[in-house]
Amino acid sequence: MTIQVAGVLLEGCVLSLLSHADGYGYSLTQRVKNELGVSESTLYPVMRRLQTDQCLTAYDVPYNGRNRRYYRITERGREKHRECERDWELFKARIDEIIKARLEGEGQ
């Protein structure tokens, strides 16, 4: 089954990954891509939007003659991450209620 992942959920995923440690763009996109099947071209705009919203900062680090763009979560990003976690738990609980109610109804 394939489920479309909304931008706000992708923001939450990126913020969650960065809440543990800074990460560079390619590594972040690969992690989310491998877990959710989302294309890289979908994730870079999410990271730019988070940067514009002052939830992330970016800095470059030289690596093998090239620069890697690293992202760091800001305090504003941590607040948004906590908000995303609360919203996700509420959303997940509502979906579980619908699915479980349907399954319980089928058993009758």
**Is pLDDT of 1 > 50?**
no
Q: What is the average pLDDT score of the chain?
A: 89
Q: What is the pLDDT of residues 89-103, one digit of tens each?
A: 999 999 899 988 866
Which residue blocks in the chain are alpha helix, DSSP H?
7-18, 25-36, 40-52, 75-106
pLDDT above 70 (res 108): no
pTM: 0.81
- Looking at the DSSP bridge assignments, the partners of residue 62 are 67
16-54 pLDDT, tens digit per residue, is: 999 999 999 999 999 998 988 888 888 899 999 999 999
Query: Please, what is the end-to-end C-alpha distance for the chain in angstroms?
Result: 26
- pLDDT bracket for residue 80 (50, 70, 90): very high
pLDDT score of 102: 66
Closest residue by Cα to residue 61 from 51, 71, 48: 71
Beta bridge partners of 63: 66
Looking at residue 100, its pLDDT comes to: 86
